[in-house]
Copies of this chain bind each other. A is one copy, B any other.
Amino acid sequence: MKSYLDCIPCFIRQSLDSVRRVSNDENIHQEVLRSILSKTSNMDLSESPPSMAQFIHRLIREKTGVADPYREIKQYFNREIMAMFDDLKSRINQSSDPLETAVRLAIAGNIIDLGARNQVNQHIIQDAIDHALNNPLLWDKEEFVAEVEQAETILYLADNAGEIVFDWLLIEQLPVQKITVVVRGYPTLNDVTLADAQEIGLDKIVQVIDNGSDAPGTILHDCSIEFVERFNQASLIISKGQGNYETLSDVDKDIFFMLKAKCPVIADDIGCQVGDMVFQRSSSHLYSQQIFTK
């Protein structure tokens, strides 16, 4: 997905929020903001939004000297959602359709995205869960189940810390031995890294690899060769969140996107409303597969 003019005010807001989260130095805030303003004034709109977000968060790490600015907040969300694990698991197992309930909850968990909104708290997460359990989910369950059954290998592209706990609950409803969870290669925003997967113990139940990139999405030409090979070889991709959608929606690969639409730009691109749950198969599965090479 390309970037839209409407992404730009959002980049500017996100830059200011993020740098303030990391540093109390007004001079650094100003330096970062001026750099982002200058960069966006020349930005190539054909690039996806996570490409600019990658630049922004690299710059913030560089200017502040903090390697993982969102470390504490990621730990907070990991802990908060792990504390809900047993309750969420009961809800899934006691529901009439555990797989669908797990899919709904995994999409609800995508609310924990500090790129799309300044603030996420327990109240907002609870609202997202209630919304997910009580609103229409447009998905072709039979198609998804058939593809999962046929697949030899499935890559599950995770998105954010905290959200990964919801992903864990969904993965438990799938053939876990076929699945590899993919996290970001380096800290960026509140996106999930190996440290988060290890912190919650997800790496004990499923293989977890990183993609080698510090973009808050999956920019294939920025990922490691090892990851790209795994991506190309995978029978099926499950992609969580806006950043992965924005970077992979035009890639010729069979992908099931799951996300909560949190901004008008992505909602327009998908053809839904802000707040909607999205479960969408890439249209490119209809055509011959083209392998991406680095």
Contact = CB atoms under 8 A, between A and B. Distances in A.
A202 to B, nearest CB: 36
Contacts of A40: 37
A30 B5 contact: yes
Nearest to A29: B5
A82 interface: no
Nearest to A19: B5
Contacts of A8: 12, 16, 33, 37
A5 B33 CA distance: 8
A221 interface: no
A117 interface: no
Given A8-B16, A8-B33, A37-B41, 4 more contacts: A5-B29, A8-B37, A37-B37, A41-B41
26 contacts: A5-B16, A5-B26, A5-B29, A5-B30, A5-B33, A6-B16, A8-B12, A8-B16, A8-B33, A8-B37, A9-B9, A9-B12, A9-B13, A9-B16, A12-B12, A30-B45, A34-B41, A34-B42, A35-B41, A37-B37, A37-B38, A37-B40, A37-B41, A38-B38, A38-B41, A41-B41
